Structure 1
């Protein structure tokens, strides 16, 4: 069931990309070239390590969004800096 939900989301994003004149990445190599996240595991290979990696990735995504979205309210940028 989760696979189907993810498939629908990914398909929707790909369709929107095509509508604005771009091709959706189709290979893992292309996705990795477009991502600012890494596939490198820096923490322990256990549940705590994975949780730390997941949290770091989420923080990275928030910081990237804040840095590239000048229309965000000022207090959002302050909050994002505070969590890092």
Structure 2
């Protein structure tokens, strides 16, 4: 069984990867598994979402860890940390 998650990218990630897309994943997948699936595409995805890169994630508009479980129809957003003054 697979699930479909709506992805959104913000700030510099949006510039590199686009606004967003739908991603099909095996049921029981986590936020970390979604990031890994995107990195496996190679190219700009691998670079933008590389391990060690500061990337935050939000699941259904709430900050989450990479261990958060995904469900069919969830919205998953990736964005760089924000700084300001």
Question: Normalised by the size of structure 1, how large is the TM-score?
Answer: 0.23
- The structure with the largest strand share of the pair is 2
Task: Identify the structure with the greater helix proportion.
Answer: 1
TM-score (norm 2): 0.23
RCO comparison, higher one (Cα < 8 Å, 6+): 2
